[in-house]
Amino acid sequence: MQMTVTPESFPIAGTFTISRGSKTEAKVVTVRLTDGVFVGQGECVPYARYGETVESVVQVLSALVPEVADGLDRVGLQTRLKPGAARNALDCAFWDLEAKRAGKPVWQLAKLPEPKPLSVTYTLSLGTPESMRAAAEKEAHRPLLKVKLGGEGDVERIRAVRAGAPNAAIIVDANEGWSLDQYKALAPVFLDLGVKLVEQPFPAGNDEALLGLDRVLPVCADESCHDTASLASLKGKYDAVNIKLDKTGGLTEALLMRDAAVEAGFQIMIGCMVGSSLAMAPAFLVGQGAAFVDLDGPLLLARDREPSIAYDGAVMSVPPRGLWG
């Protein structure tokens, strides 16, 4: 078994901004596995919030090349690497290779129902109320918008988005940028403006305030939520969990986490970093049946991979098997 690890970059259409900063390109790491006949591939997006860089992820994966050649497989990988971006890329490459070898799609190998197209959110990045209204007007035909917020001025931003897209449902992502007082002040106002959910209002290490809080605006865990093991600490604090393969460390753990989260009573959001269609394809399987599907990464890019996933408005098609799975 041969394994290659390649850093790649995809330009973003414009600039993507959240409360922690802005970027104009999606920097990813691609893993390809080949047995000499078939090729499997996977993509991850290293995330600085979790102490990851492209260089560190490339280093971690490159160190595994001899172990993969000696027989490290997808099952062994689950304990060989911790959850995170590096494990995600290799886990998804293993799934893709298994599917190619078997001549069957991944959903069959994983004993999942046949996947159907999904209705996805569209993300509006953080900006001035004026720029966010203009962005909302451009995307007003979409049924669900996800809006990045930053704390100060958030009410004005949501009012602007609502004015620009009067019929769209809205979810908001605070990216750990709120205080308890801000939640209490903003939640009723946002409810009146048609907001359905807020992601990660408080810093992940400071979310105890959610215990016992009257969460009139439902709260979704993102930075507080990584893998199945993290679910126990979320009970009583959150109403939903955002499952991202770059956090779980791949499709294998993401499927386990989804089932455990449903059993624990959480609503499911399937999310992504800004990446190409290759990163979205395995997440598409986890998104089946989810309450919120935030897999719009390719829609934010100026250039995607070929072949790529087709999006028709808000509808995300089944990923082509020539891409993955």
Instruction: Give the pLDDT confidence of 304-317 residue by residue, as tens digits.
Output: 999 999 999 999 99
Q: Which residues are annotated as a binding site?
A: 173, 199, 222
What are the 10-residue block averages of pLDDT along the chain, 325 residues in total? Answer: 98 87 94 98 96 98 98 98 98 98 98 98 95 96 93 91 98 91 95 96 91 95 96 96 98 98 98 97 98 97 98 97 97
Spatial CA neighbour of 264 closest among 244, 287, 286, 241: 241
Match 């990216």 to its residue by tokens. Answer: 175
Task: Report phi then psi at 276, rounded to 5.
Answer: -85, 180
Query: So what CATH class is 2-105?
Result: alpha beta
112: exposed, middle or buried (Cβ count in 10 Å: 0-12, 13-18, 19+) = middle
Query: So what CATH class is 118-316?
Result: alpha beta
Give the residue numbers marked as catalytic.
148, 244
232: exposed, middle or buried (Cβ count in 10 Å: 0-12, 13-18, 19+) = exposed
Residue 320: cis peptide before it, omega within 30 degrees of 0: no
Cα pseudo-dihedral 305, 309, 313, 317, rounded to 10: 180
pTM of the model: 0.96
pLDDT 10s digits, 132-150: 999 999 999 999 999 998 7
Q: Which residues are annotated as a binding site for Mg(2+)?
A: 173, 199, 222
> In the chain, what are the domain boundaries?
2-105, 118-316
Alpha-helical (H) ranges within the chain are 54-62, 65-69, 74-80, 85-102, 106-109, 129-138, 154-164, 180-192, 245-248, 251-263, 277-286
Return the DSSP state at 33.
Answer: E
